[in-house]
């Protein structure tokens, strides 16, 4: 690729921006476009002059007429979306350029290093890769602000940029697409339903991952062959996908048993449809006449085109499966006798074709589309994705509380933990049913039972784990197993406690140890235990620093407990896209986990807009899957240096100070909640139809009931980014004041966990902007509450200085100029949206108006696009 990569990105951004400008001019006239350009110029000038707030820019925004507000917000929002498209395409372009230049492959280098430097045998590396289980769990957390119709148009623009790199004429098509985007409402009129969210997740698979998986496996296979002389087995897929979309009912009354049943069916329909299309294409290719006796035995010796004959039968069964599921979804009955009922029935004919082609001297044909389809079966199967079920522990307690009252046994909810366990274990081992026919439970309890009924009636290959939110005791796990048993489940589903708050993280290892000491339960697990670690709620509860350390300590202790019991532990990381929710570079995060906690298996959530950023384009999806694979392989075979006892003791002290500093504001300052509610758009966020879940777990609750996503979304919108750094400033500042700077610098150099947290903190601080936060406060908040705001901004600036000292840098992100430049390029387009949002908040709070609300929601979407994350 003979182009200057940096210039290519700049040219793409300019070209897309010019096209948007022409569209705006055609729609709203030259005068309005001039107004947009004036505001953009003033914002850019304000940044270059390093003035905290540019008076002319503010005056221009405050003077906007009512009918100008919405189109101005849309103009800057769509420019930021187009800049994101150009950047994502540029990432692909850089990767392709590296491939063309034959630059060393990261995964190949790692495999070679594990072999030569870490002393791992070629066989051990190959076996670890083939048995690896990386499960990426797609979740419907409401952080994807873009409508699906716009995402499709953005994808089409990406395709145009690819064609442009090949010197194809695409300018007319680009202008058409950008005009379509401009004339499309970017804000949903209604919240998506859980089924809509699931369909969005399926679309990511169909449009990107379906293509990416076989390419990823092929690259991995070639890397293994080149470096070690081994092959990746055809039935092996190190990376697989699960989903919470349609299964996550924690605090979401819209996810019912009926919804889950529908999503499970839709998922299988989509898989049958995609495989049917694949088999159609494969039949066109496999016109060969030579076949092995094994294959001819299946289709008859006289078959002129034996492969097509064999695949014709498979195609008919896929069609029967697809049409039958469609009939059931429409409420009709369907004949299931011809359905493909399991993955093996789909895989066997394909493997038979592969064996026959290979043995008949046509291995190069077998290595084409046929192998791609086999890889897809290994990854997706007939279920497409495994659906997890998630429910709050309190909902299961309600079931047994009503039951024990019905049986006049008292209140289950008030029993001791010991009594609960005795009761549950007795019923688990009883042969008689527990739930009586004449019992009429409340609607809420009936819904829990209906969900368990759906699970019990579903095949195991369609389901992942049953995750229990706010779990803290062994009885929380045993209760779910008993409910599933009562509904007639015929297999041992993984039941997974989710430890979220700091207290639950600290008590989690004891909870698992107590469970594994129960002989019945240990037999149920078949020596495999999964535990989910919550990042979002723990950070909201304790602050980022204390939460990160609580998560590390919990993983350390859980690993030790399971090793002592001879049980294989799989940790399920509930990470979000932002630092305040455990976000950051995935491979770095994996390698910073406690040694031994990643033993060839990892589950991790991929949430909201991060699904599209990381997996929406096949080339980027392949790169991210390679990063996951390399990190898990390294963490399994050559884990990092164990944390020294002195480091852990020191982190205990830092985390304690961080917890104190965080809660002194969040829980103890009486001004905090009024400041948060008045300065941020937290209350207005409820109007933004992002996802199917309510913003709060309880309608009447305060900040403590606010979900972690809107909590972080609100602070991101005003650029204070408070959840990511508050508390760290206290801990690090007190340490440096005690003369411990050198010790902090040594920890940064020697300990991956500490280094990862400091680097993520640096990244989020670079996105913060105290001057923007000042303007929100000045316009929206009382002088009395402004005292707290001034204190928080001082602490933010202080924290920036601390990170510079620890990293010995004069400027944040000195070692990561690409991210720093990306932030700097966006600021002149973000500033008008921030100032416009403040003006809209002020007007809407004083004189509510539907037109202003629409513009306000567009500014939220635009700021999210510019910041590259929401919650």
pLDDT digits (tens, 9 = 90+) for 549-562: 999 999 999 999 99
- 496 HSE (CA, 13 A, CB side): 25
- Answer yes or no: is pLDDT of 23 > 70: yes
Whole-number pLDDT of residue 98: 64
- Answer yes or no: is pLDDT of 51 > 60: no
Model confidence at 140, pLDDT cuts 50, 70, 90, reads confident
pTM over 0.85: yes
| Mean of pLDDT values over 779-790 | 96
Whole-number pLDDT of residue 441: 97
- Answer positive or negative: Cα dihedral of 765, 767, 773, 774: positive
Whole-number pLDDT of residue 255: 96
Residues 6+ apart with CB under 8 A from 34: none
| Mean of pLDDT values over 584-598 | 84
Q: Are 493 and 440 in contact (CB under 8 A)?
A: no
| Mean of pLDDT values over 841-853 | 87
- Answer yes or no: is pLDDT of 582 > 90: no
- Answer yes or no: is pLDDT of 269 > 70: yes
Q: Are 829 and 76 in contact (CB under 8 A)?
A: yes
Model confidence at 690, pLDDT cuts 50, 70, 90, reads low
- Tell me the helix, strand and coil percentages in the chain, rounded to 5: 65, 5, 25
For the chain, percent of residues with pLDDT exceeding 70: 93
Q: Produce one character per residue of 747-778: b if its CB has 16 or more CB atoms within 10 Å, e if not.
A: bbeebbbbbbbbbbbbbbbbbbbbbbbbbbbe
- Answer yes or no: is pLDDT of 473 > 50: yes
Q: Quick one: tokens of 73?
A: 């917000």
Lowest mean pLDDT segment, chosen from 566-575, 606-615, 807-816, 855-864: 606-615
Model confidence at 705, pLDDT cuts 50, 70, 90, reads low
- Answer yes or no: is pLDDT of 816 > 50: yes
Model confidence at 617, pLDDT cuts 50, 70, 90, reads confident
Q: Quick one: tokens of 841?
A: 């908040």
Model confidence at 865, pLDDT cuts 50, 70, 90, reads confident
**Residue 583, Cα to own-chain centre: how many angstroms?**
9
- Answer yes or no: is pLDDT of 456 > 70: yes
* Radius of gyration of the chain measured on its C-alpha atoms: 28
Q: Say how far apart CA 346 and CA 315 lie, in whole Å.
A: 10
Whole-number pLDDT of residue 610: 82
- Answer yes or no: is pLDDT of 385 > 80: yes
DSSP letter string, 808-859: T-SSTTTT-HHHHHHHHHHHHHHHHHHHHHHHHHHHHHHS--HHHHHHHHHH
- Answer yes or no: is pLDDT of 583 > 60: no
Length of the chain, please? 871
Model confidence at 612, pLDDT cuts 50, 70, 90, reads confident
Q: Which of 79, 374, 71, 101 lies closest to 213 in space, CA to CA? A: 374
For the chain, percent of residues with pLDDT exceeding 90: 75
Whole-number pLDDT of residue 93: 85
Q: At 694, phi and psi to the nearest 5?
A: -65, 155
Q: At 136, phi and psi to the nearest 5?
A: -95, 120
Whole-number pLDDT of residue 237: 95
Lowest mean pLDDT segment, chosen from 297-311, 582-596, 609-623, 721-735: 582-596
Lowest mean pLDDT segment, chosen from 57-66, 98-107, 325-334, 576-585: 576-585
Model confidence at 698, pLDDT cuts 50, 70, 90, reads low
Q: Are 5 and 93 in contact (CB under 8 A)?
A: yes
Model confidence at 819, pLDDT cuts 50, 70, 90, reads confident
Q: Which of 352, 783, 809, 751 lies closest to 588 in space, CA to CA? A: 751
Rounded alpha-carbon distances, angstroms, from residue 392 to 448, 550, 554, 848: 10, 21, 21, 37
Model confidence at 870, pLDDT cuts 50, 70, 90, reads very low
pLDDT digits (tens, 9 = 90+) for 167-217: 999 999 999 999 999 999 887 777 788 998 899 899 999 999 999 999 999
Lowest mean pLDDT segment, chosen from 141-155, 494-508, 664-678: 141-155
Could you list the active site residues?
Answer: 141, 540
pLDDT digits (tens, 9 = 90+) for 356-374: 999 999 999 999 999 999 9
Whole-number pLDDT of residue 101: 55
| Mean of pLDDT values over 390-394 | 97
CB atoms under 10 Å from CB of 671, counted, come to 16
End-to-end CA distance of the chain: 37
Q: Quick one: tokens of 22?
A: 């022409």
| Mean of pLDDT values over 223-249 | 95
Q: Say how far apart CA 238 and CA 129 lie, in whole Å.
A: 7
Q: Mean pLDDT for the chain?
A: 91
H/E element, 239? strand 239-243
Q: Say how far apart CA 247 and CA 716 lie, in whole Å.
A: 28
Q: Say how far apart CA 388 and CA 383 lie, in whole Å.
A: 12
Q: Quick one: tokens of 575?
A: 């990470």
Whole-number pLDDT of residue 713: 87
- Answer yes or no: is pLDDT of 797 > 80: yes
Q: Say how far apart CA 147 and CA 199 lie, in whole Å.
A: 12
């Amino acid at each position: 690729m003979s182009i200057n990569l940096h210039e290519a990105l700049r040219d793409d951004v300019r070209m897309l921006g010019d096209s948007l400008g022409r569209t705006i001019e055609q729609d709203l006239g030259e005068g309005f476009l001039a107004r947009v350009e004036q505001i953009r110029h003033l914002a850019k000038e304000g940044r270059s002059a390093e003035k905290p707030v540019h008076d002319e820019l503010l005056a221009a925004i405050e003077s906007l007429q009512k009918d100008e507000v919405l189109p101005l917000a849309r103009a800057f929002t769509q420019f930021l979306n187009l800049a994101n498209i150009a950047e994502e395409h540029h990432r692909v372009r850089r990767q392709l350029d590296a491939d063309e230049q034959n630059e060393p492959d990261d995964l190949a280098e790692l495999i070679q290093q594990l072999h030569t430097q870490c002393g791992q045998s070629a066989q051990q590396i190959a076996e670890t890769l083939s048995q690896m289980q990386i499960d990426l769990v797609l979740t419907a957390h409401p952080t994807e602000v873009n409508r699906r119709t716009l995402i499709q148009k953005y994808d089409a623009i990406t395709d145009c940029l690819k064609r442009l790199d090949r010197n194809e004429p695409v300018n007319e098509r680009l202008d058409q697409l950008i005009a379509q985007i401009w004339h499309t409402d970017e804000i949903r009129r209604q919240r998506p339903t859980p089924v809509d969210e699931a369909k969005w997740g399926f679309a990511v698979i169909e449009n990107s991952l379906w293509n990416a998986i076989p390419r990823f496996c092929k690259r991995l296979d070639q890397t293994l062959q080149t470096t070690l002389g081994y092959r990746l087995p055809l039935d092996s897929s190190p990376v697989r996908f699960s989903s919470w979309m349609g299964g996550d009912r924690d605090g979401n009354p819209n996810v019912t048993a009926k919804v889950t049943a529908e999503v499970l069916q839709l998922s299988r329909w989509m898989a049958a449809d995609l495989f049917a299309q694949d088999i159609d294409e494969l039949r066109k290719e496999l016109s060969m006449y030579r076949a092995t006796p094994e294959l001819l035995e299946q289709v008859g010796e006289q078959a002129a085109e034996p492969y097509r004959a064999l695949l014709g039968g498979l195609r008919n069964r896929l069609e029967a499966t697809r049409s039958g599921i469609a009939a059931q979804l429409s409420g009709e009955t369907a004949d299931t006798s011809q359905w493909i009922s399991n993955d093996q029935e789909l895989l066997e004919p394909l493997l038979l074709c592969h064996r026959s082609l290979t043995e008949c001297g046509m291995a190069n044909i077998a290595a084409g589309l046929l192998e791609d389809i086999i890889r897809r079966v290994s990854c997706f199967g007939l279920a497409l994705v495994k659906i997890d079920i998630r429910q709050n522990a309190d909902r299961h307690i309600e079931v047994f509380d009503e039951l024990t009252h019905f049986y006049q046994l008292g209140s289950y909810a008030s029993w001791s933990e010991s009594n609960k366990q005795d009761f549950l274990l007795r019923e688990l081992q009883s042969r008689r049913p527990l739930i009586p026919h004449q019992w009429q439970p409340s609607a809420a309890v009936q819904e829990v039972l209906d969900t368990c009924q759906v699970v019990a009636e579903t095949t195991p290959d369609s389901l992942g784990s049953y995750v229990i939110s706010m779990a803290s005791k062994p009885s929380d796990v045993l209760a779910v197993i008993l409910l599933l048993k009562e509904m007639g489940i015929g297999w041992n589903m993984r039941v997974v406690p989710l430890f979220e708050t700091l207290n639950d993280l600290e008590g989690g290892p004891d909870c698992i140890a107590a469970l594994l000491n129960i002989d019945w339960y240990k037999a149920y697990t078949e020596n495999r235990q999964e535990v989910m670690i919550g990042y979002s709620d723990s950070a909201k509860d304790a602050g980022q620093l204390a939460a990160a350390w609580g998560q590390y300590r919990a993983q350390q202790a859980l690993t030790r407990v399971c090793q002592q019991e001879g049980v294989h532990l799989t940790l399920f990381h509930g990470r979000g896209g932002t630092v305040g929710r455990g976000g950051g570079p995935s491979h770095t995060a994996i390698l910073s986990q406690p040694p031994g906690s990643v033993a060839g298996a990892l589950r991790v959530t991929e949430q909201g807009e991060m699904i599209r950023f990381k997996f929406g384009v096949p080339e980027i999806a392949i790169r991210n899957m390679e990063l996951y694979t390399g990190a898990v392989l390294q963490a399994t075979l050559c884990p990092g240096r164990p944390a020294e006892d002195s480091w852990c003791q020191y982190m205990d002290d830092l985390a304690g100070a961080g917890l104190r500093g965080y809660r002194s504001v969040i829980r103890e300052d009486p001004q905090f909640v009024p400041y948060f509610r008045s300065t941020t758009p937290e209350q207005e966020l409820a109007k933004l139809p992002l996802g199917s879940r309510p913003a709060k777990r309880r309608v009447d609750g305060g900040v403590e009931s606010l979900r972690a996503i809107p909590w972080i979304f609100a602070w991101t919108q005003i650029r204070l980014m408070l959840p990511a750094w508050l508390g760290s400033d206290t801990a690090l500042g007190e340490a440096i004041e005690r003369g411990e700077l050198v010790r902090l610098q040594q920890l940064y150099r020697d300990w991956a966990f500490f280094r990862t947290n400091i680097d993520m903190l640096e990244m989020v601080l670079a996105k913060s902007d105290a001057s923007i936060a000042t303007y929100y406060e000045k316009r929206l908040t009382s002088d009395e509450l402004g005292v707290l705001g001034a204190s928080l901004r001082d602490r933010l600036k202080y924290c920036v200085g601390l990170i510079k000292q620890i990293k010995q840098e004069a400027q944040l992100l000195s070692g990561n100029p690409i991210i720093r430049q990306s932030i700097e390029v966006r600021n002149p387009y973000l500033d008008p949206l921030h100032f416009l949002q403040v003006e809209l908040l002020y007007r809407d709070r004083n004189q509510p108006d539907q037109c202003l609300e629409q513009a306000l929601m567009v500014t939220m979407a635009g700021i999210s696009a510019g910041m590259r994350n929401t919650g």
